[in-house]
Structure 1
Amino acid sequence: MTKVAPVGIRFHHGSLSVPAGVVHTTPLGYDRDSVPIGAPLTLSASTELVHRLSGCGKVVVAFEGKLGDTLLALSGVRAVLDWLRLRSVRVAVRAVGPYAGLIARTGLLTRPHAITPSGRLAVIGDRIGVDARGSTAAVSLVLDPATPPCWSTDGRAHPDLPARHYLALERRLGIRLPATTPFAPTLATGPNNLVEELRSIGWLGGLTIAAITATSWPERKDYTAQRYTALAEYIAEAHQSQARLLLIGGNPGDGLRITAEAPRRYVQVLHLDGMPADHLSDLFPHCHLIVGNDTGLTHLAAMARDGRDGVGPPVIGLYARHSHSKWRTGLPHHHAVATTLSDRMHQGDLCPVRDAITPDTDVHMDAFPPTALAQIGLELLDGVSP
């Protein structure tokens, strides 16, 4: 559900369905629920794209830019591969670049040497990755987060980027593809030596909260270690138990750095700076609650799923300026707490950067009082919808 918090911020549950009439959308052009999987759409396919993809035997997934943009665009890769499977086109799929290991966790890639590469090459990725590897490709698909609009069909809006990318390619490829909401692939996790070491020394025992301080825009998006610690203290005091707070920071320039603070009454704090994304993917499912700004590691936390039961902890994203609906995975456990400005960006499908919108007030992370976030976290931990 969506709920106005006492301090004026708004909570948006990850499973909330957005009616098409309350946000600005672009009609998809067909009633998706009424079209059988594999059936042609009423829209004409992109003839050239279909022709070129049909002759491809190799697909290279190439992302070099931001982690968050990459993770939210993987549904576009999924759409192309779903189309190739429906057309019985056999391809070898591999990933290159800094995120190849993470992309391998989605199950989208073929096993090495499982298919003998033949036919032409298709490259799918962001602009940097495609430019670096697409000169010999028969098809180059750039998945730009600014390009796909907020689609609407069957009376509902599809505002999250994974849905935008998937449906945009479905329209271009001209047949009803199999995926339904949520469109984002998830990341499989498994045993990890660093995670097991943290467990062995007691950092994953009891109530464990992960908070993401890493951001490329700290003056605007850093909620700060102090506020996260206060949030964890409120939650732990309410539970009358001690909590472990894992503060996930960026790369300090000298690799992985782990430091512990002196124990507090209700919270023990551990700083994890520069922890590689694949290790974090294995760590996040062992937490009970994750809070972060709208950055790549928060999206990573939502997409990381425990290999044993396929579930993950609730994730709360903090949205002060950008649309809380566009910059989420669309997964039902990925929630948002948003300011009024973020709500307006969501309603109008706007971007303060792309559309050069100057806020009426200087909105920062201090819009989210730790007490209000702690109450939302408590209700999610207790299985109550805030």
Structure 2
Amino acid sequence: MPAATELVDRLNTCDEIEVSFHGKLGDTLLALATVRALSDWLALRTLSTTIRATGPYAHLISRSGLFTHTPPDARPGIGRRAVIGDREGIEASGAGAEVSLVCDPAAPPCWSSDDRAHPDLPARYYLALERRLGIRLPATTPFAPLLVSQRSRLVEELHTTGWLEGMTIAAITATSWPELKDYTPRRYIQIASHIADAYQTQVRLLVIGGDPGTGTHISTQTTRSGVEILYLDGIPAIDLADVFPHCRLVIGNDTGLTHLAALSRTPNGSGPPVVGLYARHSHSKWRTGLPHHHAVAAALSERMHQGDLCPVRDAITPDTDIHMDAFTPAALAQVCLDLLNGVR
């Protein structure tokens, strides 16, 4: 694989890599494999280069272990700098950089080698940069770096009040496209009721909502079926990254917090299975590639997977308007029960 000479030459002169993501959370998390590829390349070249994170997700993505440990009051270097990030991040931080690497989820193709396809976005990013750098990098699938959880005040409070004891399930309703991707609390409650009946036990359901614009809001509810519900709205992503690994199962729509749940693990690598619901976009591309990250896909999502298409980018009008209605709570409950029982 011939290297992109100009890119390699410029990176060789940089003593600092700035990672700057300012766009959507999900896009940011799946693009961290590009940072991993660059980190692996720097290690092979034995280059003394600082990698630091800036932007709104800096503290969260620093948990990936890809960044150089620097004192909190350390100032940016004055040498040559490369910037890697999404388009918003490059616009914010790219001025004066020696070279900029843009992570565009529409760009990297699906790669294959040794009769195996690598369709998930982290694999696409890693292998695409590997090709541009012109050298075989050491990482193997899965390419997505994990985010290590910590003991936080929110986790301590949930443990103290019993919300993380027994059968605790997290359900994600937060999304930037609610009319198409929100599975709704009502359906998640039905899933929890099916699981409670199957196990003959109490189920605690954490309903993770978005930010309503009024900050954090927490409330509780008890259903007739005995499911205890805790609504968590407007909780920062970094705090949810500490909560997810303590659940028995996480289920959510194809959105950034679901990807975050799949990437967030305890320091010993443990954590729950995560189920993503894919009604429109490719279930294979928009996933972390981690073995515990599963997908339930509608017919349109499967067609997007087969053709490596995007309904937005390729302006594909669906031939049906059912969206999340394609997934019945009873059928999803059975998927969840299989995962909880170790069947899948």
Place the TM-score, normalised by the shorter chain, in its bin. Answer: over 0.9
State yes or no: 1:331 paired with 2:267. no
Read off the aligned partner of 1:158 and give its amino acid letter: H
Offset of residue 340 of structure 1: 1.2
Q: How does 1:342-357 map to 2 (within 5 A)?
A: 342-357=301-316
Listed as ranges, the matches of 1:20-59 within 5 Å are: 43-59=1-17
Among candidates 303, 318, 321, match of residue 359 of structure 1: 318
Which residue identity does 2:232 align to in structure 1? Answer: L
Partner of 2:50: 92
Shift of 1:364: 1.0
Residue aligned with 1:244, SS: strand
Return the letter of the residue paired with 1:305: R
Q: Deviations over 1:248-293 (max 9, x none)?
A: 0000112111100135433101100000001000000000000001
Distance, in Å, in 2 between the alignment partners of 1:175 and 1:269 is: 51
2:31 is aligned with 1:73: yes
1:158 equivalent in structure 2: 118
* Structure 2 partner of 1:205: 165
Gaps in structure 1 of 5+ consecutive residues = 1-42
Letter in 1 for 2:269: G
The unaligned stretches of length 5 or more in structure 2 are none
Q: Say which of 321, 339, 354 aligns to 2:280.
A: 321
Give the letter for the 2:273 counterpart: P
Give per-residue Cα distances to partners, 1:121-171, cap 9 Å, x unaligned: 010000010111111100100000000011111111100000000000000
Paired amino acid for 2:212: P
Q: CA deviation at 1:298?
A: 0.1
Instruction: Please give the alpha-carbon distance, in whole angstroms, between the structure 2 residues aligned to 1:106 and 1:244.
Output: 29
- Secondary structure in structure 2 of the residue aligned to 1:70: helix
- SS state of the match for residue 105, structure 1? helix
The Cα of 1:119 is off from its aligned counterpart by 3.6
TM-score normalised according to structure 2 size:
0.97
Question: Does the residue aligned with 1:56 lie in a helix, a strand or coil?
Answer: coil
Q: Is 1:109 the counterpart of 2:63 in the alignment?
A: no
Alignment match, 1:189: 149
Question: Could you say what secondary structure the match of 2:208 adopts?
Answer: strand
Calculate percent identity across the aligned residue pairs.
67
Q: CA deviation at 1:118?
A: 6.2
Q: What secondary structure does 2:81 align onto?
A: strand
Q: Distance in 1 between matches of 2:104 and 2:76?
A: 30
Alignment match, 1:250: 210
For 1:377 and 1:263, how far apart are their aligned partners in 2?
A: 20
Q: Is the 8 A contact 1:321 1:363 kept in 2?
A: no
Distance 2:54 2:155 in 1: 26
Q: Which whole-Å CA distance do the structure 2 matches of 1:118 and 1:158 have between them?
A: 39
Q: Match of 1:179?
A: 139
How many angstroms apart in 2 are the aligned matches of 1:340 and 1:55? 49
> What residue is the counterpart of 2:193 in the other structure?
233
Count of residue pairs brought into register by the alignment: 342
* Deviation (angstroms), 1:336: 0.1
Paired position in structure 1 for 2:256: 296
The alignment partner of 2:222 has SS state of coil
CA contact 1:189–1:306 (8 Å) conserved in 2 = yes
Q: Distance in 1 between matches of 2:45 and 2:296?
A: 41
Q: Which has the higher contact order (CA 8 A, sep 6+)?
A: 1
Change (3 A) 1:115 1:109: farther
1:363 Cα deviation (Å)? 3.2
User: What residue identity is the alignment partner of 1:89?
Assistant: L
Within 1, Cα distance between the matches of 2:7 and 2:341? 49
Shift of 1:116: 9.5
Change (3 A) 1:274 1:194: same
The 2-side partners of 1:350 and 1:156 are apart by: 19
Q: Runs of 4 or more off by more than 4 Å in structure 1?
A: 113-118
* DSSP 3-state at the match of 1:343: helix
Aligned equivalents of 1:311, 1:202: Cα separation in 2: 20
Q: Give the counterpart of 1:143 among 84, 87, 103.
A: 103
User: 1:281-340 CA distances to partner (integer Å, 9 max, x unpaired)?
Assistant: 000000000000110000000000012x21210000000011000000000000000011
Q: TM-score, normalised by structure 1?
A: 0.87
Q: Distance in 2 between matches of 1:221 and 1:265?
A: 26
| 61, 72, 91: which one aligns with 2:19 | 61
CA contact (8 A) 1:237 1:266 kept: no
Single out whichever of 165-174 and 105-114 deviates more from structure 2.
105-114
Give the 3 Å change call, closer, same or farther, for CA 111–210 of structure 1 in structure 2.
same
Q: How far apart, in 1, do the equivalents of 2:316 and 2:220 lie?
A: 41
Q: Is the 8 A contact 1:55 1:119 kept in 2?
A: no
Counterpart in 2 of 1:276?
A: 236
Change beyond 3 A, Cα 1:152–1:115: farther
